[in-house]
Amino acid sequence: MTARNWIIVTATVATLYAGYVHDLAAMFVGLAWGSLMVLLHAIEVKLNRLLDDRGINVPDYEIAKDR
C-alpha cells in the first residue's frame, strides 16, 4: 500500500469516526487534514523526482538544519 493510500485511509477513518460521534468540527478537520496531506505528499514526490532527475542529493543533516 502506498503512502498516498495510507493518508487517504487515515483521513477517511478519522472523518467517519467524527461523523459517528456527531462532531461536525472534527469532520471538517479530518477532511482538511487529509486534503492537505495528500497535496503535500504530491509536492514532495514531484520535488524528489525533480531533484533525482537533476542529480542533486540533499543529505539528512542538511534537511535537519534549523535556519
DSSP assignment of the chain equals --HHHHHHHHHHHHHHHHHHTT-HHHHHHHHHHHHHHHHHHHHHHHHHHHHHHHT----HHHHT---
Write down the pLDDT at residue 60.
84
How many domains are contained in the chain?
Answer: 1
**Which conformational region is residue 59 in: left (phi greater than 0), alpha (psi within -120 to 50 degrees), or beta?**
beta
Write down the pLDDT at residue 49.
95
Range of the domain at 19: 3-63
Rounded to 5 degrees, φ, ψ at 36 are -65, -40
Amino acid (1-letter code) at residue 65: K
pTM of the model: 0.77
Quickly state the pLDDT bin for 67 (edges 50, 70, 90): low
Quickly state the pLDDT bin for 61 (edges 50, 70, 90): confident
